[in-house]
Structure 1
């Protein structure tokens, strides 16, 4: 379960870097509907690949929810189940958000006005941001479980609790106080370091744990 969780989390980080960092960040200009429209027209295939990467992220989220539940179930069965369920719900919220990316592509292909295409993209951002509130609660549950688990370094539990608080607080703030979006974005920039360290660091530790356990198993006798 640790090996599966670690590999899935690392694959998810790579897919997110491509889908959001490279494709979405490179093509979408929220201040320029016309510029965004031109970018989508000239890079429609790349945008489709980005949508495919988002779909892979949804599937990986479901896989991580199950594998982390299996890894931490013995610590607290009910909380582990609840933590996994929250991530499953988040994955379906993310899927609903990705549907707006498909909508934006369809609008662009039917020559809809650029402003209408940009509104569909903004709906993606809004729904995803609301889903990340849930994701923060998932990390809070995961942080508490790792703190209680004697087989996980408590350092990761603390980082996950900080990251969960940041995710939930930042995206709840965006939902409740939309007029303070610029200040909230600055807070997110500062908080992005512990948020990234918690997930990526925990992923590599899970990979190390899983590989170590795999190679430490005794070899069965052939006699």
Structure 2
């Protein structure tokens, strides 16, 4: 039976992943719903520009939160790969690669916000320029939804690994897989219909609720319960 040390114990992997998931939940919700939602006025580029200029430090805080979220995503990809490679090393690696692909794509998405900030800071006050910060924020929202296709595949693979494991509850794997399917459906809906189409207005049921349930339960389980170490050891024998 393997001897665990501080950095190889399965509970350490689980709690590290759970802790970073908690960071993502807190900072992503804060940045989206308490910063962007406060500053961005839908359909009004001039008001959006004025809000960014008035609360530039708050906008910068939101950008910083998104970059911390991306760092946490990388840490989670690493920890979950180590935690689940005993179930199937090839699929565990593939799941990690899909999450890392999503994370790299998200760097460009978040950079849209920095472009919006740079244009808002521009000294020229030309009416034609006023629309560009609002445009880049809109591009951030659209591109974010598209990159969730990669994240959804990651969750589907992760859910499969959890269901196949003996050291994590099968129901969590099912919930995570459903959440992944929701992300994939939402991403392709954006690609095919531009946010419209037959699924318009159903995002809370297709994405938000499944994600909060599946990823939320996974986060709390990893953070406060962890894994069955004996069964985890058996997967590596």
For 1:39 and 1:72, locate their aligned partners in 2 and report how far apart those are by CA, in whole Å. Answer: 45
Distance, in Å, in 1 between the alignment partners of 2:137 and 2:210 is 28
User: For residues 161-187 of structure 1, what are the alpha-carbon distances to aligned partners after superposition, in whole Å with 9 as ceiling and x for unaligned?
Assistant: 110110000111011111616x53421
- The whole-number CA distance in structure 1 between the counterparts of 2:42 and 2:111 is 18
Offset from partner CA, 1:22-56 (integer Å, 9 cap, x none)? 11111112311111111111111000000000110
Over aligned residue pairs, what C-alpha RMSD do you find?
Answer: 1.6
Candidates 84, 103, 109, aligned match of 2:96: 84
Counterpart in the other structure of 1:30: 42
- Asked if structure 1 preserves the Cα contact closer than 8 Å seen for 2:145 and 2:186, the reply is no
Unaligned runs of 5+ in 1: 214-223
1:184 counterpart residue number: 199
Give structure 2 stretches of 5+ with no counterpart. Answer: 1-12, 230-237
Say whether 1:2 aligns with 2:17: no
**1:149 and 2:165 correspond:** yes
- 1:71 is displaced (CA, Å) by 0.7
Is contact 1:170-1:187 (8 Å) kept?
A: no
- Does 1:130 find its partner at 2:146? yes
Contact map agreement 2:153 2:180 (CA 8 A) in 1: yes
2:36 alignment partner, SS class: helix
Structure-2 separation of matches of 1:95 and 1:76: 29
- Superposed, 1:41-80 pairs within 5 Å as 41-80=53-92
Alpha carbons 1:3, 1:211 under 8 Å: kept: no
Q: 1:39, 1:185 → 2: CA distance? A: 28
- Shift in alpha-carbon separation, 1:211–1:163, aligned structure 2, 3 A: closer
What is residue 235 of structure 2 aligned with on the other side? Answer: none
Tell me the equivalent position of 1:159: 175
Q: Do the aligned residues in 2 keep the contact of 1:65 with 1:88 (CA within 8 Å)?
A: yes
Deviation of residue 115 (structure 1)? 1.0
Specify the SS of the correspondent of 1:194. Answer: helix
Counterpart for residue 220 of structure 1: none
Task: Report the TM-score, using the length of structure 1 for normalisation.
Answer: 0.90
Cα offset, 1:14, TM superposition: 0.5
Task: Give the 3 Å change call, closer, same or farther, for CA 22–102 of structure 1 in structure 2.
Answer: same
Task: Choose between structure 1 and 2: higher helix proportion.
Answer: 1
Give the corresponding residue for 2:109: 97
Residues 46, 212 of structure 1: alpha-carbon distance in 2 compared, 3 angstrom cutoff: farther
The verdict on how the C-alpha distance between 1:90 and 1:151 changes in structure 2, with shifts beyond 3 A counting, is same
- Residues 193-208 of structure 1: matches in 2 within 5 Å? 193-208=209-224
Could you tell me whether the CA contact under 8 Å between 2:168 and 2:228 is conserved in 1?
no
**Who is 2:119 aligned against?**
107
